[in-house]
Amino acid sequence: MILVDVKEAVMQHTAADRVTEFAGSDLFRRLFAEGMALVEETAAYLDGPGRDDAKRLGRSGALAYAAESMALTTRLMQCASWLLTQRAVSEGELAPADAGEEQYRLGGTRAPGKAAWPEGDEPCPPRLFDLITRAAALHERLKRLDQELFSGKRIAPTGENPLAAQWSALETAFGTRD
């Protein structure tokens, strides 16, 4: 029982160290600026040109626009909340170990970048699609960071390995590796 408690304390300490190091890094500062800029850009679009884009859509397109803009806003608020939590750690307002509590972890389960746009209607406005795609990429990056910081396990990026096709061609040409 004591060994389990010691192991958990060491793992929490290690996670706290990782969170503290990350929250104080240049990487975090750049990521924070990028994430908050995307939030502001999205808000400006949805409150301005996005309204005009939505008005030009048919009924089913307008409904899809509303659903996608809500999902986009939700995803970005989750990202902003996570980034603000890490900044609170950086500024000493939140203990690193507390940042690992479930309420501060990055949520969201919807598959990123899968806009459910109806067929037969006008296409998704390009600007909205761009924001959806960028927000999904940001969320995925933050989700991996969250896992790495709090589980201590390196998480491989999702999606296909960009070198897989080249590796497969080499294996075909020269035989499989052993």
Predicted confidence at residue 28, as pLDDT, reads 92
Cα angle: 111, vertex 150, 41; to 5 degrees: 50
Q: What is the C-alpha separation between 105 and 121, in angstroms, rounded? A: 37
Listed in sequence order, the residues at least 6 apart from 36 whose beta carbon sits closer than 8 Å to its beta carbon are: 80, 83
Q: Are the beta carbons of 67 and 116 closer than 8 angstroms? A: yes
Q: For residue 129, which amino acid is it?
A: F
pLDDT in tens, 78-87: 999 999 999 9
* Three-state secondary structure call for residue 37: helix
Q: Are the beta carbons of 146 and 82 closer than 8 angstroms? A: yes
CATH number of 2-174: 1.10.8.930
pLDDT in tens, 37-66: 999 999 999 999 999 999 999 888 889 999
Predicted confidence at residue 91, as pLDDT, reads 93
Query: Domain residue spans in the chain?
Result: 2-174
pLDDT in tens, 3-46: 445 445 444 547 788 888 988 899 999 999 999 999 999 999 99
Ramachandran class of 159: left when φ > 0, alpha when ψ lies in -120 to 50, beta otherwise: left
pLDDT in tens, 102-155: 889 987 655 544 556 767 667 889 999 999 999 999 999 999 999 888 886 554
